[in-house]
Amino acid sequence: MSYKRSVYIKAKEIMSQRKAKAEKDAELRHTAAVAACPEILTVEREMASHGADVVKAVGMGANLDEYILSLAKANLKAQAKRKELLKEAGFPEDYLEPKYECAICKDTGFNKEFYCQCYRKLIRDVAREEMGAKSPLKTCTFQSFRLDRYPDVTDSVIGINQREHMKNTYEYLKDYAENFTPDSQGLFMYGKTGLGKTHLSLAIANVVIDKGYDVYYGSVQSIMDKLEAEHFGRLPREDSIKEDILTCDLLIIDDLGTEFSTQFTNAELYNILNSRILSSLPTIISTNLEVKDIDERYGQRVASRIIGSSMAIYFCGKDIRQLMN
């Protein structure tokens, strides 16, 4: 997995909290059980003494195995006695055991020397939660995309049926997501507003996150605002985004062309695109601008890096957001 550092830190904190809660709850249950049946403490002292005797017995030589076996039998007998006392006091036999969310790793996050499946899932959930805080990620999936909202008519630009074209676009992007690697080609999604560019770019993000890759999503304006604040020292260090943008496995820049254009934003856009191309990392860009407008707005250097490193995907149809109202 290659998520950014903040995701791992948060996931680790959650795992630690889960483990601490399970063990704290077990302590509270232990207090209640002992209050109801004080004899439990006597049995537990006996169990503890058996453990100490094992440590002391290490130097016994030839008689060690036989002695340890006798201690093990005594310990099992004490455990059985404790279960019996719990049952008599009206508690389940496993009442004193911590109730971990994951019985496999006991909320440590590790199964032997490997990440536990529960920890892998948690990391994906945290990554999705972080991204969902600044985007409608949860609702934008391939499953929720509605092809029937596209007109069953011929498009005047490309000369083919709009619904059929968007069906092919949908299938291409779904295949792109399912086969994504950090070596994948970038995508340049263009077309009028409300045609599903954001929805499908986030649908890709959902799949890519599940595959274990780090995704950064933002509108071009929000990205530029944060980069400017970071550049001029107005953004707390812990909120720094530049490294994330330059090194994430997949960067999604939404609404290119809607930002307030300045010398700074144009320079930053060029730096982002150029750095990611040099690192062979893909970027998905969505915009209402047409291909010819990119050169006019951003200049040849930026345009060549967008067009030269991306597969151009044309979106057609009617504004599906208006159709949904």
The strand pair at 110-111 and 250-256 is best described as: unpaired
The C-alpha R_g of the chain, in whole angstroms, comes to 29
H helices then E strands: how many in the chain? Answer: 12, 7
* Residue 270 to residue 265: CA distance in whole angstroms: 9
Query: Do 22 and 232 contact (CB within 8 A), yes or no?
Result: no
Q: Where are the domains of the chain?
A: 17-105, 134-324
Give residue 217's identity as a one-letter amino acid code.
Answer: Y
pTM value > 0.75: no
SS3 per residue for 213-255: CCEEEEEHHHHHHHHHHHHCCCCCHHHCCHHHHHHCCEEEEEE
Residue-by-residue pLDDT tens, the chain, 325 positions: 567 778 888 899 999 999 999 999 999 999 999 999 999 999 888 888 866 666 666 655 556 677 777 777 888 888 899 999 999 999 998 999 999 999 999 999 988 878 898 998 898 888 888 777 667 788 899 999 999 999 999 988 889 999 999 999 999 999 999 999 999 999 999 999 999 999 999 999 999 998 989 899 999 999 999 898 888 877 666 567 888 899 899 999 999 999 988 889 999 999 999 999 999 999 999 999 988 889 889 889 999 999 888 999 999 988 766 555 4
What would the two tokens of residue 130 be? 């972080």
CATH class of the domain defined by 134-324: alpha beta
